[in-house]
Amino acid sequence: SILRHVLLYFPKMSITARKYDPASDEPRVTELLVSAFTDDPTFRCLCPGDSDWKRIGPLLLGMSPALHYSYGMVDVCCSEDGSLKAAAQWEPSYTSASFYARLIAGFPKLAWSLGTYRFFRVLRLFLALESRRHKHAPTAHHLQTLGTDASFQGKGIGSKLIQRGIDRAEALNLPCYLESSNPRNVPFYERHGFKTVELFYPFADASTGTHKDGDGNKLEGNGPLMTLMLRPTATGDAKVKS
């Protein structure tokens, strides 16, 4: 048939998953993540302006692979020619001394680039998410970020990569946890067994009852929504909360 000849002419794409190598992978992983999160509602609410995002996005997302390499839980997917097409960054439930050391070392540059107001907004968001993570999933492996090259989205690469992290947690009988900063990604995570445990509006200011973006501008409505999700163990349970 014509379909059979087409499939023979275009052989199945070969994708390999492996551990992140900071010496060779760091620039490309940062590029992948910046591209994947360019239209992300939460990240762009932190950096609304395009010029700010081009300057700050690589710094925010570029720090993450270096930090999470402290745990050896950063995974990448490569095509047949060895080029990186996706990256996922996980962390365990505990925090290592080397993680803190890398974080503290990167703080001055981050604070300088973000500016005082935005730096404290980022810090407040980080602390709010950490508090919720320890509440909902104190023992879970935590998926920090997952990004796929735009030209390879919808081809199963993200699924292959996230499954690598899930398998690692399941081998230890541990749950998995994540914060989806874009509602359109929630169905993807649900297909992999994640369940919503909380809906969180990260830019709400409880003291004033207002919602402001990273530039201090008042937002209409509640601002971006983050979906906090848990993938329980075989014997666990997760109930939806609002």
What confidence score (pLDDT) does residue 211 get?
Answer: 82
Helix (H, G, I), strand (E, B) or coil at 203: coil
Cβ 213 vs Cβ 48: under 8 Å? yes
What confidence score (pLDDT) does residue 94 get?
Answer: 87
Q: Where are the alpha helices (DSSP H) in 73-115?
A: 97-114
What confidence score (pLDDT) does residue 239 get?
Answer: 47
- Residue 168 backbone dihedrals phi, psi, to 5 degrees: -65, -40
Closest-CA residue to 205 (of 190, 218, 195): 218
CA 203 to chain centre: 18
What confidence score (pLDDT) does residue 5 get?
Answer: 46
What pLDDT, in 10s, does the model give residues 104-155? Answer: 888 888 888 888 888 888 888 999 999 999 999 999 999 999 999 888 887 7
Residue with structure tokens 């992983």? 29
Per-10-residue mean pLDDT of the chain, 242 residues long, equals 44 75 88 92 91 89 80 88 89 85 82 88 91 96 92 84 95 97 95 97 76 84 93 68 42
Cβ 32 vs Cβ 147: under 8 Å? yes
What confidence score (pLDDT) does residue 194 get?
Answer: 98
Count of beta carbons in the 10 Å neighbourhood of residue 199: 14
Within 122-172, strands assigned E span: 141-148
What string of DSSP letters covers 24-76?
Answer: HHHHHHHHHHHHHTTT-HHHHHHS-SHHHHHHHHHHHHHHHHHHHGGGT-EEE
Global pTM reads: 0.86
What confidence score (pLDDT) does residue 209 get?
Answer: 66
What confidence score (pLDDT) does residue 13 get?
Answer: 58
What confidence score (pLDDT) does residue 9 get?
Answer: 44
- The C-alpha atoms of residue 10 and residue 74 are separated, in whole angstroms, by 31
What confidence score (pLDDT) does residue 12 get?
Answer: 53
- The C-alpha atoms of residue 126 and residue 123 are separated, in whole angstroms, by 5
What confidence score (pLDDT) does residue 207 get?
Answer: 63
Tokens standing for residue 239: 């109930």
